[in-house]
């Protein structure tokens, strides 16, 4: 298996622009998580899905952030409009619900908003 | 609220020194416990996990951790560290059952001097 796939790996954009981050979970996994990591705040859970349904979005910082999971093999995290304080590494992770719930992380997307 | 505490934010050791990183969690029920490692510039990878059975868990690269239920602890150990162990280490807990969200500690940055 290729593991969790994220794209793009790096994104540089200007303040006010829309940013879309993409994630393909491991095949067969039915839970998907979006995290944000910064030096100041560490690792933060933004939102997670079970069987494509959003379960907990309490970590989404503002209405500028939205996430979708249209099917079991694809999810997006969108920021519109982006701001410099959104600069961070965004990780996607997936797991198999029921069992030990080990999460497998993708390589991350490093976002820089100028 | 469920929480995970890592006592050491930054640890500096010389090669061949012994390592112990502390981790305590606040949930009193059945738990699954994890240690993840993040090497510089990379994503989080599983180091070891406790699901059930023997409370002394052995992971990759010579790491081990001991689950002490009475102390709500899951400390990470390695008898002799190497320069390549320089990384950030995250303790994490999952409540098991159908709750697949993992609560991460804030991480411990380990720096090994050659």
Q: Which of A31, A42, A106 lies at the smallest CB-CB distance from B43?
A: A106
More confident residue, B100 or B62: B62
Q: Mean per-residue pLDDT for B71-92?
A: 96
Q: What is the pLDDT of residue B66?
A: 96
Bridge partner residues of A42 (DSSP): A38
Residue B94 has pLDDT above 90, yes or no: no
**Residue listed under structure tokens 């705040």:** A41
Residue B98 has pLDDT above 80, yes or no: no
Bridge partner residues of A89 (DSSP): A37, A110
Is B97 buried (19+), middle (13-18) or exposed (0-12) by CB count in 10 A? exposed
- What are A30-62's pLDDT values in tens digits? 999 999 999 888 899 999 999 999 999 999 988
Strand pairing of B44-50 and A109-113?
unpaired
Q: What is the pLDDT of residue B14?
A: 97
Q: Could you tell me the pLDDT band of residue A1, with boundaries at 50, 70 and 90?
A: low
Q: What is the pLDDT of residue A38?
A: 92
- What are A16-26's pLDDT values in tens digits? 999 999 999 99
Q: What is the pLDDT of residue A60?
A: 95
Q: What is the pLDDT of residue A99?
A: 65
Measured distance CA(A81)–CA(A37) in Å, rounded: 19
Residue A66 has pLDDT above 90, yes or no: yes
CA B44 to chain centre: 12
Q: What is the pLDDT of residue B72?
A: 94
Q: What is the pLDDT of residue B99?
A: 66
Radius of gyration of chain B (CA): 14
B37 with B89: CB under 8 angstroms? Answer: yes
Q: Search chain B and give the residue with CA nearest A92.
A: B43
Q: Which of A42, A55, A103 lies at the smallest CB-CB distance from B102?
A: A103
Q: Quick check: A101 and B90 CB within 8 A?
A: no
* Residue among B27, B101, B108, B109 with most chain A CBs within 10 A, to mutate: B101
Residues of B in contact with A48 (CB under 8 A): 100-101
Residues of A in contact with B37 (CB under 8 A): none
Q: Search chain B and give the residue with CA nearest A30.
A: B100
Q: Quick check: A102 and B34 CB within 8 A?
A: yes
Q: Mean per-residue pLDDT for A94-111?
A: 88
């Amino acid at each position: 298996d290729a593991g969790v796939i994220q794209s793009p790996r790096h994104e540089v954009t200007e303040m006010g622009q829309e940013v879309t981050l993409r994630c393909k979970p491991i095949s067969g996994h039915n839970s998907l998580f979006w995290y944000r990591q910064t030096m100041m705040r560490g690792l933060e859970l933004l939102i997670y899905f079970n069987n494509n349904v959003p379960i907990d979005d309490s970590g989404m910082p503002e209405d500028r952030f939205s996430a979708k999971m249209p099917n079991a093999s694809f999810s997006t995290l969108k920021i519109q409009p982006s701001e410099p304080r959104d600069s961070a590494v965004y990780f996607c992770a997936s797991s198999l619900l029921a069992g030990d719930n080990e999460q497998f992380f993708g390589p991350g997307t490093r976002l820089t908003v100028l | 609220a469920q929480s995970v505490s890592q006592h050491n934010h930054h640890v500096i050791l010389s090669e061949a020194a012994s390592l112990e990183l502390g981790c305590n969690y606040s949930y009193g029920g059945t738990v699954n416990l994890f240690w993840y490692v993040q090497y510089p510039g990379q994503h989080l990878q599983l180091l070891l996990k406790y699901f059930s059975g023997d409370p002394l868990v052995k992971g990759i690269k010579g790491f081990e951790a001991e689950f002490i239920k009475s102390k709500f602890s899951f400390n990470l150990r390695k008898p002799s560290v190497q320069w390549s162990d320089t990384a950030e280490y995250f303790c994490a807990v999952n409540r098991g059952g159908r709750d697949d969200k993992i609560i991460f500690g804030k991480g411990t940055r380990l720096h090994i001097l050659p």
